[in-house]
Chains A and B, each alone.
Chain A
Amino acid sequence: MAKTEIRVGGLGGQGVILCGHIIGKAASIYDNKYATLIQAFGPEARGSACSAQVSVADEVIGYPYVKNPDILVLMSQDAYNQFIGQLKPGGLLLYEQELVNLDQRLPAGARALGIPATRFAEELGRRLVLNIVMAGFFAGVTGLVSAEAIEKAVLSSVPKGTEDLNMRALRKGYEYGREQAAAPTQ
C-alpha cells in the first residue's frame, strides 16, 4: 500500500483533531501500520477553522505533511472552501451533508459521500459525538482502518463514562458508511 493522505477539516469545537487522532491511532496502534498526525496549530478557538493532517502507510513515513489529500473529511463550509481545491484527482470527499454544500469546485472524477453526522449525533443524545460518527463513517466507507481498530482507538481516547454513547455513534457512522459505499455512485 502506498501512503494514503487524509485531511480532516471543520470548526474548533467539532472534535476535528480528535477525529484525525482516532484515525491515526487506529491505524498505527491497532492495525499495526504507520501513521503520522499533524495538526494545524494556532490561536484557533471554538468556532474558527481547524484541521488535522493524517498520513497512513505500510512503511515508515518520511515527509509528514499532507498537500494533496487522497481523502478529505469535512465538517464545515469553511473547511470545504479552504481544502476542496487540494483534493487529488479521483480522490474521495466525505462530508457533513447538512453543513457543507458541494459546488462545481469538486474535482472531476472525485467521489463525494455525505452523512448527516450532526443530526445522527443529536438523535443519539449528544451533538458532541458528531466527530465520532464521522470517524465511523470514514472507516465504513474506506476500510483503511479496520472496524476493530477504530473501536479500540475510540475507547482508549474518549472520557470514562462516555464509552457507550461513543460506541453507538461510531457504529452508526460505520454502518451508514458501509451502506453509502455499497450504493451505486450518483
Chain B
Amino acid sequence: MHADPKGVMTGVHFIDGDHAACEGALAAGCRFVAGYPITPSTEVVERFAARIPEVGGCFIQMEDEIASSIAILGGAWAGKKVMTVTSGPGLSLMMEHVGYAAITETPCVFVDVQRGGPSTGLPTLPAQADMMQVRWGSHGDYMPIALSPSSPQECFDLMIRAFNLAELYRVPVFFMMDEVVGHMTERVVIPEASEIEVVERRLTAKRPGEYKVYGTDGSLVPEMTKAGDGHRIHVTGLTHDERGYPAMNAMAQDKLVRRLLAKINAHADQLVDVQTDGVEGADIVVVSFGITSRVATAAVDAARAQGYKVGHLRLIVCWPFPAKLFAELAGQVKAFVVPEINMGQMVLEVERAVAGRARVVSVPHPGGTVHEPAVITQAIVEAGR
C-alpha cells in the first residue's frame, strides 16, 4: 500500500527532528494521537495538533501520561493507527500500558525524546538513558521493538517503519529520539505519497462467529478486527485464550507468553538493522546509536588518522538487539568501544553477545550534553593497545 497523500507533505524542508517525526507519523497513516506535552518532545504533538484537522483525524491533549497511553490503545482497537509522544518522566508513567499493549497485541508507537534523568532530571538537555526501560520497564515477559534515529531525515523515514512494524507484529514500537536529534534542524526530503510504502492493518475477513480475536491459525501474529465491525471481542490484560477470554492457568500462560516473545525473536534477523562503516578488517569497532553515532564519527576519523583500524557500527534498531551479528564479529575484532549517553546500558547487551571473546569498553556519559569526541578517541586508542 502507498501512503495516503493527505498526510504527506511532499517537498524539501529545513525542519527539526521533532517536526520530522510528526510528518513521518502523518505519512505513515497515524490519525489518532493522545499526549501530554513534555519537553523536549512537545513540538511533535504541537505540530500534530496543528496538522491533523486538515489531514483528518484527532489529537487529544490528555490529563496525564497514564491517560494518554491507554487512550491510544483504545484508538487502535477502534481501527486507527496511533501514537503517543513523551520523554522520560512521562514514559515512566506509561509503563503499565506498555505491558497492556504487549499482552493485548495492540499496534502502537511510543515516541520517547530522551532527556537527562532520573525523574524530572534535565528537561531541556539530552540523554540516551531510557534504552533499558523500554526493553524491561513493564512487568512480565514481552519483547518490544525500538528504533533509534540519528537525524531529522531519519526521524521521518524511520517513523514510517515504526508504524509499519507495529502493524506487522502488533507490538508497542518505541521511537527512541533524544533532545539533540529532536531539536536539530536539517534538510528533510519528503517523497511523493506514491513512493512511501505503508503497511495497513491485517483485518480479518472472517465472519462473526468464525473469528477468534487471538486465533493465529498457526502464524505468530493474529488477525485483527475493529470495534463496531460486528465481531464480538473481548480484550483484556489478563492472560487469555484464543477467544480473548481470561484463562488464568499455566497452560494458557505458556502458550501466550511464548508466542508474544516468538513473534519478535523468530523474525529478529529481518528486524535488526545496523549501518556499518569499515567494520570488515577492523581491530576495533565503535558501537553507537542516535546522536552519539554522529559524535562518534569525529572520534573514528581522529583514530583512523592516528593509524588505528577502526570500524563504526550504528544500531538503527536497538530492540531486538543484533546479538547474532555481534557474536560473529566477536571472533574477528579485538575490542568493541561503546559510547552512549547513559552510564552503560546497551553495552551490557554487547557484552552478553560477545561473551568474553573480545574486549568490550564502555564510554559512559551521564547526560546533559554529548560526548567530547576526544574522550571516545582516547577509549579507542586504549582499546587498541
A: residues with CB less than 8 A from B are: 21, 24-25, 28-29, 34-39, 41-43, 61-65, 153
Cross-chain pair count, CB within 8 angstroms? 56
Q: Which residues on the B side are within 8 Å of A63 (C-beta)?
A: 294-295, 297-298, 373
Closest to B300 in A: A62
C-alpha spacing A36/B370, complex, angstroms? 16
Q: Which residues on the B side are within 8 Å of A38 (C-beta)?
A: 180, 183-185
B179 proximal to A (CB < 8 A): yes
Q: Is A36 in contact with B186, judged by CB distance below 8 angstroms?
A: yes
Q: Least Cβ distance of A36 to chain B in Å?
A: 5
Sort chain B's interface into a size bin: 20 to 34
16 A-B pairs in the complex with CB atoms less than 8 angstroms apart: A21-B185, A24-B186, A29-B13, A29-B187, A35-B186, A37-B16, A37-B186, A41-B40, A62-B294, A62-B295, A62-B297, A63-B297, A64-B180, A64-B291, A64-B294, A65-B370
Closest to A43 in B: B124
Known: A43-B124, A63-B295, A64-B294. Is A25-B14 also a contact (CB below 8 A)? yes
Q: Is B187 in contact with A41, judged by CB distance below 8 angstroms?
A: no
B: residues with CB less than 8 A from A are: 12-14, 16, 40, 124, 179-180, 183-187, 291, 294-295, 297-298, 301, 370, 373
Q: Least Cβ distance of A122 to chain B in Å?
A: 29
B180, B187, B295, B373 pick with most chain A CB within 10 angstroms: B187
Q: Which residues on the B side are within 8 Å of A25 (C-beta)?
A: 14
C-alpha spacing A37/B373, complex, angstroms? 19
Q: Is B185 in contact with A24, judged by CB distance below 8 angstroms?
A: yes
Q: Is A62 in contact with B185, judged by CB distance below 8 angstroms?
A: no
Q: Which residues on the A side are within 8 Å of B185 (C-beta)?
A: 21, 24, 36-39
C-alpha spacing A41/B180, complex, angstroms? 10
C-alpha spacing A41/B39, complex, angstroms? 10
C-alpha spacing A64/B187, complex, angstroms? 13
Q: Is A34 in contact with B187, judged by CB distance below 8 angstroms?
A: yes
Q: Is A28 in contact with B14, judged by CB distance below 8 angstroms?
A: yes
Partner of A21, one of B12, B14, B291: B14
C-alpha spacing A34/B186, complex, angstroms? 8
Closest CB pairs A-B (n = 6) = A62-B297, A37-B185, A25-B14, A63-B298, A28-B187, A41-B124
Q: Which residues on the B side are within 8 Å of A42 (C-beta)?
A: 124
C-alpha spacing A29/B12, complex, angstroms? 7
Q: Is B184 in contact with A36, judged by CB distance below 8 angstroms?
A: yes
C-alpha spacing A25/B13, complex, angstroms? 8
Q: Is A41 in contact with B14, judged by CB distance below 8 angstroms?
A: no
Q: Least Cβ distance of B294 to chain A in Å?
A: 5
